[in-house]
């Protein structure tokens, strides 16, 4: 068995693996797609100490860092189920979709999350060419330009307030009749001079020219009339879905499906820790995922050295 088995090799999982290996632990890292979300990222400008990189370059740096250590990397393998130890202090099992099973004394869950898509024409085509999902990451790229935010929940309204301070103008589009964000955020949003709000509005397409976004179209659901706005960027803010379906019933999940962790990354199951975008940690960012991966590995190490000697 492994001393530490890490499931998911994004920034959180790779950080955990490096920390585990540096403790001399027998470490396994199983993942569906090495690198995780950063593979889909263009510019990364907020990873501290690295002023400018891009997703593929950062993913290969993760791989190079991992290769410097003795870690069993099992790429292109999906975990299908987590099985708790038969008795306290026993081995936890991770069942793979391919039928295999891995056993470990401690497990770190770092399976990340994915942004919910709005699924309209133009979204996939202009992804990273004006269509984006992360205001903290990409807001500054639209300085002085016109943008839209799709989604009027807390994350959409927060994104619109954030962007309004950077970009020239924000158009917020919400499908429901009312914004669903907290009243205090809605009041703040409505007080801003460079924001237009459209509720009861269904986004119909994102348009582009010359390989980048040039506008958005939406249908007023009350009148049926379609409107178009010219702009340079669209922030889709309709939810982040954690990759935790395979954990249901095994560890405590929040109402939105995030693995519930404490300040040390401990889950509800002793010996099982979690880190990064799949957890309840606020703010989903590379620097946070990497830090939490290190933290979970150190917590798992502490757990191991406190286990009774067999």
- Rule CB under 6 A: which residues touch ligand FAD? 7-13, 30-33, 36-38, 40-41, 44, 46, 78-79, 110-113, 115, 133-134, 137, 243, 246, 276-277, 284-287, 289
CB of 179 to ligand FAD, least distance (A): 24
The residue nearest ligand FAD at its CB is 112
CB-nearer residue toward ligand FAD: 13 or 186: 13
Residue 189 marked ligand-binding: no
CB of 74 to ligand FAD, least distance (A): 9
Residue 267 marked ligand-binding: yes
Residue 13 marked ligand-binding: yes
Cβ of 32: how many Cβ atoms within 10 Å? Answer: 17
CB-nearer residue toward ligand FAD: 28 or 215: 28
Expressed in angstroms, the distance from the first to the final Cα of the chain is 14
Residue 153 marked ligand-binding: yes
Helices (H), the chain: 11-22, 55-67, 135-138, 154-164, 183-190, 286-305
Distance CA 31, CA 215 (A): 37
Question: Of 46, 36, 33, which Cα lies nearest the Cα of 11?
Answer: 36
Residue 88 marked ligand-binding: no
Residues 6+ apart with CB under 8 A from 33: 9, 39, 75, 76
CB-nearer residue toward ligand FAD: 76 or 176: 76
SS3 for 289-303, per residue?
A: HHHHHHHHHHHHHHH
CB of 8 to ligand FAD, least distance (A): 3
Question: Of 149, 118, 113, which Cα lies nearest the Cα of 37?
Answer: 113
Residue 276 marked ligand-binding: yes
CB of 307 to ligand FAD, least distance (A): 25
242: buried, middle or exposed (CB in 10 Å: 19+, 13-18, 0-12)? buried
Residue 155 marked ligand-binding: yes
- Cβ atoms of 36 and 60 within 8 Å: the answer is no
CB of 114 to ligand FAD, least distance (A): 7
CB-nearer residue toward ligand FAD: 35 or 189: 35
CB of 51 to ligand FAD, least distance (A): 12
CB-nearer residue toward ligand FAD: 201 or 290: 290
CA angle 48–53–55, rounded 5-degree value:
110
> Binding site: what residues are annotated?
3-18, 146-160, 267-277
> Binding site for NAD(+): what residues are annotated?
146-160
């Amino acid at each position: 068995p492994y001393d530490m088995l890490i499931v998911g090799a994004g920034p959180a999982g790779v950080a955990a693996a490096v920390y585990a290996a540096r403790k001399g632990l027998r470490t396994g890292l199983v993942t569906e797609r090495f690198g995780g979300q950063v593979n889909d990222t263009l510019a990364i400008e907020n990873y501290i100490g690295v002023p400018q990189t891009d997703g593929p370059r950062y993913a290969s740096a993760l791989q190079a860092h991992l290769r410097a250590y003795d870690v069993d990397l099992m790429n292109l393998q999906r975990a299908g189920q987590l099985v708790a130890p038969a008795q306290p202090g026993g081995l936890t099992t991770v069942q793979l979709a391919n039928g295999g099973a891995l056993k470990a004394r401690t497990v770190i869950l770092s399976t990340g999350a994915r942004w919910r898509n709005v699924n309209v024409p133009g979204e996939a085509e202009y992804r990273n060419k004006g269509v984006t999902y992360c205001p903290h990451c990409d807001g500054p790229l639209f300085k002085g330009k016109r943008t839209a935010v799709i989604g009027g929940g807390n994350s959409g309204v927060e994104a619109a307030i954030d962007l309004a301070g950077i970009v020239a103008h924000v158009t917020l589009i919400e499908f429901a009749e009312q914004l669903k964000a907290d009243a205090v955020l809605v009041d703040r949003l409505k007080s801003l001079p460079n924001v237009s709000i459209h509720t009861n509005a269904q986004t119909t397409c994102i348009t582009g020219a010359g390989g980048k976004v040039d506008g958005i179209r939406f249908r007023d659901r009350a009148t049926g009339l379609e409107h178009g706005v010219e702009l340079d960027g669209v922030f889709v803010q309709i939810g982040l879905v954690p990759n935790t379906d395979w954990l249901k019933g095994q560890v405590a999940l929040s109402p939105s499906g995030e693995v519930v962790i404490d300040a040390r990354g401990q889950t509800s199951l002793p010996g099982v820790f979690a880190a990064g975008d799949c957890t309840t940690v606020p703010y989903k960012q590379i620097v946070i995922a990497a830090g939490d991966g290190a933290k979970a590995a150190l917590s798992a190490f502490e757990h191991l050295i406190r286990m009774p000697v067999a």
